[in-house]
Amino acid sequence: MKVAWLQNTWTENLGSAWLSAVLKSKGHSSEFFIEQRGWLKALKKYGPELIAFSCTTGIHCWALETAKRLKKEGLERVPVLMGGPHPTFYPEIIYEEGIDLICRGEGEQAVVELVEALATKSDTAKIENIWVKRDGRVLQNDLRPLIADLDCLPHPDRSYCDKYSALKQYPYKSVLTGRGCPYGCSFCFNAELRSHYQGKGKYLRRRSVEKVVEEIADLKGKYGLGSVRFVDDIFTLNKDWLREFASIYRREIGLPFTCNVKPELMDGEVAGLLKESGCRLALFGIESGSERIRSVILDKKLSDQEIISCASWLRDNGIGFATFNIIGSPGEKLRDALATVEINQRIRTRYPWCSLMQFYPGTKIYRIARAQGALEDGGEGGKGPKVSGMTYFRDTQLLQDNKAELINLHRFFVILVKFPFLTPLILPLIKLRPNFLFDLVFLFSYAYITLRRSEMGIRKLIWLGFRSLPLFLK
Structure confidence at residue 361 (pLDDT): 81
**Beta strands 130-134; 137-139: pairing state:** antiparallel
Is position 149 within any domain? no
Is the pLDDT score of 383 beyond 50? no
At 407, is the secondary structure helix, strand, or coil? helix
Same domain, 246 and 130: no
CATH of the domain at 284: 3.80.30.20
Amino acid at 34: I
pLDDT digits (tens, 9 = 90+) for 391-406: 678 889 899 999 999 9
pLDDT-derived band at 388 (thresholds 50, 70, 90) equals very low
Rounded CA-CA distance 113/50 in Å is: 13
CB 38 within 8 A of CB 341: no
Amino acid at 323: T
Same domain, 123 and 215: no
Domain span at 38: 2-139
Structure confidence at residue 462 (pLDDT): 60
Is position 150 within any domain? no
Structure confidence at residue 208 (pLDDT): 98
Compute CA distances 452 → 179, 320, 445, whole Å.
28, 11, 11
Q: What percent of the chain has pLDDT over 70?
A: 92
Is position 365 within any domain? yes
Is the pLDDT score of 139 beyond 80? yes
Structure confidence at residue 169 (pLDDT): 81
pLDDT-derived band at 196 (thresholds 50, 70, 90) equals very high
Same domain, 219 and 115: no
pLDDT digits (tens, 9 = 90+) for 73-114: 999 999 999 999 999 999 999 999 999 999 999 999 999 999
Is position 154 within any domain? no
Same domain, 62 and 189: no
Residues 271-296, mean pLDDT to the nearest whole number? 97
**From the CA atom positions of the chain, what is the Rg in Å?**
22
CB 118 within 8 A of CB 135: no
At 130, is the secondary structure helix, strand, or coil? strand
The number of residues in the chain equals 474
Q: What percent of the chain has pLDDT over 90?
A: 81
Q: Residue 289 burial (CB < 10 Å; 0-12/13-18/19+)?
A: buried
Is position 200 within any domain? yes
Same domain, 298 and 447: yes
Is position 87 within any domain? yes
CB 320 within 8 A of CB 281: yes
3-state secondary structure string, 186-202? CCCCHHHHHHHCCCCCC
Nearest to 357 by CA among 308, 311, 293: 293
Same domain, 124 and 254: no
Rounded CA-CA distance 392/39 in Å is: 26
Structure confidence at residue 469 (pLDDT): 54
Same domain, 304 and 252: yes
Same domain, 251 and 299: yes
Q: How far is CA 205 from the centre of its chain?
A: 19
Q: How many CB atoms lie within 10 A of CB 316?
A: 12
Is the pLDDT score of 183 beyond 60? yes
- DSSP at 35: -
Taking each helix axis as running N to C, give the angle between helix 423-430 and helix 403-411, from 0 to 180 degrees, rounded to the nearest 10: 140
At 205, is the secondary structure helix, strand, or coil? strand
When mean pLDDT is compared across 63-67, 118-122, 236-240, 373-377, the lowest value belongs to 373-377
pLDDT digits (tens, 9 = 90+) for 312-369: 999 999 999 999 999 999 999 999 999 999 999 999 999 999 999 998 888 999 999 9
Compute CA distances 118 → 31, 57, 113, 394, whole Å.
17, 27, 9, 40
Last residue of a domain, one of 119, 139, 159: 139
Is position 130 within any domain? yes
Q: Residue 458 burial (CB < 10 Å; 0-12/13-18/19+)?
A: exposed
* Strand partners of residue 356: 327
Structure confidence at residue 381 (pLDDT): 40
Q: How many CB atoms lie within 10 A of CB 143?
A: 17
pLDDT digits (tens, 9 = 90+) for 213-270: 999 999 999 998 899 999 999 999 999 999 999 999 999 999 999 999 999 999 999 9
Is position 147 within any domain? no
CATH of the domain at 60: 3.40.50.280
Same domain, 306 and 379: yes
Q: How many CB atoms lie within 10 A of CB 372?
A: 12
> What is the count of structural domains for the chain?
2
CB 406 within 8 A of CB 374: no
Structure confidence at residue 457 (pLDDT): 59
Residues 448-457, mean pLDDT to the nearest whole number? 73
Q: State the Cα torsion 295-296-299-301 to the nearest 10°.
A: 20
Across all residues in the chain, what is the average pLDDT?
Answer: 92
Same domain, 411 and 274: yes
Nearest to 327 by CA among 419, 420, 442, 428: 442
Structure confidence at residue 380 (pLDDT): 39
Strand order in the sheet with 50-54: 29-34, 2-7, 50-54, 80-83, 101-103, 130-134, 137-139
Sorted by sequence, the CB contacts under 8 Å of residue 324 that are 6+ apart come out as 283, 284, 285, 286, 287, 353, 354, 355
Same domain, 297 and 180: yes
Amino acid at 29: S
Same domain, 128 and 247: no
